[in-house]
Amino acid sequence: MPTLEEVLRATSRTFAIGIEGLPRPLRDEMRVAYLILRVSDYLEDNTTLEPETKAALLDLWAEVLAGGDPAPELLEHLGSTDDPSPDTMAAHHASAIVHGLHELTSAPQQAIRRHTRDSTIGMARWVRRGPVIDNEADLDDYMHEVAGRVGYLITDLFSLASGRVAKNKEEMTKLAREFGLALQTVNIVRGIPSDIERGWFFVPKDLLPETVRTGDAFLAKGNEELALRTVDSLLEKASRHFQGAERYITLLPRFQAKMRYFCLLPYLFGVRTVALSRGNPNVLDSEVKLDRVEVRSIAAQTKLWGWSDRWIRRYGRELGA
């Protein structure tokens, strides 16, 4: 059996870097929380199950997160899947992840249970509703369930680990939602082709003429200019949310360098992805990704200078240019 550290690295090298840099016990808490949500993601994004089956399995998973025993049908599905996605690694080891949750102390365990359960229930609600995004309010509602609540969870765990963070918790909780929406908006832009392939189209309908309100029409030949303009409007939305994310990070005490590093990596990678995606026709064909050299450079500079609020603001503008 692989350790939870190995499961984490198999699901996301990027998040593993930030999580493994955190001090204990926060590191263990964040690892378990992240892997729980990857199991939820696996169930939500599954392309082989009918929506009602996915929603029912998400409900069963939410019951486990509330403290119930895993239902046999849930364990059977999570253990038998052969989907090659990274989320599958977490799904295969759901029992070990739940065991890791049980080993945490009471306060962080309850925070993780509450927020991951709420997020999982929100995913089930959207699976039942289906891929109908009429306007920005619908998009924000979806993103709140899958990412905004994660911001709340992280803020709770940070506050439990640091009295200085706890003093700013009220303001940071509001900003945490902005942080989550920023990252999820970038994910939606990066995932446009693959989401359309699995039947989901996250671009709000009211941004588009009636003839281009399906994923296939959006990607159809002749609509490239309209599609790129629409993508750019989503990227502007991400940039607005990232302003809240920047404020969130600078509210973390300077001496909490590891917490800052954990937050700065996705923030800076997200800001840079927005810049690389603007006006880029590749967003309609595949995910826009930072190359490894740039990822290493951002990570190295963040370790050196992440304590400085002035550097964070300047470097964020530089990467977003």
Q: Do residues 244 and 312 both lie within one domain?
A: yes
- Note whether residue 277 is domain-resident: yes
- Note whether residue 274 is domain-resident: yes
Q: Do residues 72 and 186 both lie within one domain?
A: no
Q: How many CB atoms lie within 10 A of CB 92?
A: 21
Tokens representing 187 are 């994910």
In this predicted model, what pLDDT tens digit does every residue of 4-61 receive, in sequence order?
999 999 888 778 889 999 999 999 999 999 999 999 999 998 888 899 999 999 999 9
CA-wise closest residue to 216 among 284, 268, 136: 284
- For residue 243, the enclosing domain spans 161-321
Q: Is the model's pLDDT at 80 over the cut of 80?
A: no
Q: Are 258 and 167 in contact (CB under 8 A)?
A: no
Q: Do residues 188 and 82 both lie within one domain?
A: no
Domain C-terminal end among 110, 130, 150:
130
Q: Do residues 124 and 166 both lie within one domain?
A: no
**Tokens 């046999």 sit on residue:** 72
Q: Do residues 102 and 168 both lie within one domain?
A: no
The rounded percent of the chain whose pLDDT value lies above 70 is 98
Give the global pTM. 0.93
pLDDT value at position 83? 66
Q: CATH number of the domain that 102 lies in? A: 1.10.600.10
In this predicted model, what pLDDT tens digit does every residue of 121-158 receive, in sequence order?
999 999 999 888 999 999 999 999 999 999 999 999 99
In this predicted model, what pLDDT tens digit does every residue of 224-249 receive, in sequence order?
999 999 999 999 999 999 999 999 99
Question: Which of 77-86, 100-109, 305-314 has the least mean pLDDT?
Answer: 77-86
Tell me the CA distances in angstroms from 238 to 234, 235, 278, one per residue in order: 6, 5, 11
- Note whether residue 143 is domain-resident: no
> Backbone dihedral region of 301: left (phi > 0), alpha (psi from -120 to 50 degrees) or beta?
alpha
Q: Do residues 170 and 109 both lie within one domain?
A: no
Q: Do residues 306 and 176 both lie within one domain?
A: yes
CA-wise closest residue to 279 among 225, 205, 223: 225
Q: Do residues 117 and 205 both lie within one domain?
A: no
CA-wise closest residue to 168 among 260, 251, 79, 263: 251
Q: Do residues 180 and 264 both lie within one domain?
A: yes
CA-wise closest residue to 286 among 197, 200, 180, 226: 197
- Note whether residue 151 is domain-resident: no
pLDDT value at position 81? 67
Indicate the pLDDT class of residue 69, thresholds 50, 70 and 90: confident
Q: In angstroms, how far apart are the furthest CA atoms of the chain? A: 57
**Tokens 């295969």 sit on residue:** 92
- Note whether residue 142 is domain-resident: no
Domain C-terminal end among 130, 148, 179:
130
Q: Do residues 111 and 183 both lie within one domain?
A: no
Q: How many domains does the chain have?
A: 2
- Note whether residue 138 is domain-resident: no
- Note whether residue 149 is domain-resident: no
In this predicted model, what pLDDT tens digit does every residue of 175-193 receive, in sequence order?
999 999 999 999 999 999 9
Radius of gyration of the chain from its Cα atoms, rounded to whole angstroms? 19
Q: Do residues 180 and 300 both lie within one domain?
A: yes
Q: Are 146 and 184 in contact (CB under 8 A)?
A: yes
Q: Do residues 94 and 165 both lie within one domain?
A: no
- Note whether residue 49 is domain-resident: yes
